[in-house]
Amino acid sequence: MITFKKGGVHPAENKFAKQYSIEYFPLTKQATILLNQHMGVPAVVQVQKGDKVKVGQLIGKGEAFISANVHSPFSGTVAKIDQAVDISGYKREAVVIDVEGDEWLDTIDKSEEIKKEITLSKQEIIDRIKECGIVGLGGACFPTHVKYMVPPDKKVDYLIINAAECEPYITADHRMMLEKTEECMVGIQALLVASGAPVALIGIENNKKDAIEKMSQVAQQYPNIKVCPVKTKYPQGAEKQLIQALINRRVPNGKLPIEVGVIANNITTAYSVYEAVQKNKPLIETTMTVTGKKLEKPHNFRVRIGTPLNEILQSIDFPENTGKIISGGPMMGKAIAEVNTFVSKGMSSLLLMDESESKRDRVYPCLRCGKCIGVCPMGLQPYILQAFSELKRYEDCESYGIMNCIECGSCQYGCPSFRPLLDYIRTGKAKTGLMIRNRKK
């Protein structure tokens, strides 16, 4: 079984929600759409208070190079343009919409019928991806169209579709592959046209046997798409690790995958690209797993962006003694500091942790056991990066390669002293990055 070479861990999979098919979450009464749901510069608001909007209408324009458009997922009236909290509790600019009915823009094809034939040209597809505000739905929310602006001296050999879904608990991509197989394939075809790559490889962890089977079956119709099962090991779904596993190329330090002739996209991103290219539907929905050990019936929701999280939490059989809610997976996700927030583009999971498992253990001094070094998929020395970050020795952080850290959290997962390694490394990485940028100026 193919896999990446260095490090990695295997946490308990806990994919409780994999048997539950995707449910469409009912429309809310008042939606709040944040304008910085993606990496980069927040979108610039395009509507005013009192404006009537339809589903799919542009409400925020991504004007900067790394930015993405934001569209209205609901029809109704703009109640206000205000500050709303994101999951961290910080206030961000947002558009509040009073929902009235469900009226879509005429340009969007609402039908369920699968449109297989791609009529648009390469540039038209990239423009459509940009217009529709597609971002990477694997978690980082990097604007997808930026990935396809390939420098003229580079050629794309492989399009890699990331369906590893290596985070425990999350099953959103898994369900999308099972239920929207054809659509995903057409989306991949569109991405192949956009990238100019001759072949697409889909990396799926082999704990999703049914998905591998279904995808391989459908992929037979498409000679340029190949399904590649990969070993179940965290962080298999990290971009650089998956590239190494599938084609054995190593992305150089500080460079993007395009450096080795690869573009990598998530499978749900491919589905969104299908909707954008074939149906002209912007990114207004996300697939979200709501799960937890104590939750009797986990869910996979297809939910419109801007829906209050509270409504989702109320709709489920909310377990008592929930101590922590995590947006994303347990390894890389962020604990929610404020529940009165709203669904945004990259939110792929809500994980409810019981009170007993939500507290961290007491931190002990470093044993120098070297476990963190053994599991680091990037070959770094997390214990020393943590110490340097804590001591604010950012030059040393840089020389020990802190900028190569992919923040997967494998080091912290296995630490016998329960040291908050990743917490310090993240701070150190941010500060070191700032230091390097200031030096270049």
Q: Which of 66, 140, 430, 435 binds another protein (CB under 8 A)?
A: 430
Q: Is 364 in the site for another protein (CB under 8 A)?
A: no
Q: Is 359 in the site for another protein (CB under 8 A)?
A: yes
> Which of 142, 144, 133, 137 minimizes the C-alpha distance to 71?
133
Q: Is 424 in the site for another protein (CB under 8 A)?
A: yes
- Residue that has been written with the tokens 């070191």 in this structure: 432
Q: Which stretch binds another protein (CB under 8 A): 233-241, 289-297, 402-410, 422-430?
A: 422-430
Q: Which C-beta is closer to another protein: that of 374 or that of 420?
A: 420
Give me the amino acid identity at 129: I
In whole angstroms, give the CA distance from residue 89 to residue 99.
Answer: 24
- Residue that has been written with the tokens 């959103």 in this structure: 172
In whole angstroms, give the CA distance from residue 162 to residue 147.
Answer: 14
Write the binding mask 374 to 393 for another protein: x where contact by CB under 8 A, - elsewhere: ----------------x---
Phi, psi (degrees; rounded to nearest 5) at 15: -85, 70
Give me the amino acid identity at 156: V
Q: Is 196 in the site for another protein (CB under 8 A)?
A: no
- Residue that has been written with the tokens 């008592």 in this structure: 320
Write the binding mask 230 to 269 for another protein: x where contact by CB under 8 A, - elsewhere: ----------------------------------------
Q: Which of 6, 52, 91, 154 binds another protein (CB under 8 A)?
A: 91
Give me the amino acid identity at 366: C
Pairing mode, strands 76-85 and 91-99:
antiparallel
CA angle 138, 141, 144 (to 5 degrees): 95
Token readout for 91 is: 């206030």
Shortest Cβ distance from residue 76 to another protein (Å)?
24
Count, residues in the chain: 441
Residue 119 burial (CB < 10 Å; 0-12/13-18/19+)? exposed
- What residues does 394 pair with on adjacent strands? none
Q: Is 154 in the site for another protein (CB under 8 A)?
A: no
Q: Is 338 in the site for another protein (CB under 8 A)?
A: yes
Q: Is 420 in the site for another protein (CB under 8 A)?
A: yes
Q: Is 88 in the site for another protein (CB under 8 A)?
A: yes
Q: Which of 337, 369, 435, 436 binds another protein (CB under 8 A)?
A: 337
Give me the amino acid identity at 43: A
Q: Which of 6, 90, 101, 416 binds another protein (CB under 8 A)?
A: 90
**Binding residues for another protein (CB under 8 A):** 83, 85, 88-91, 334-335, 337-338, 359-360, 390, 420, 423-424, 426-427, 430-431
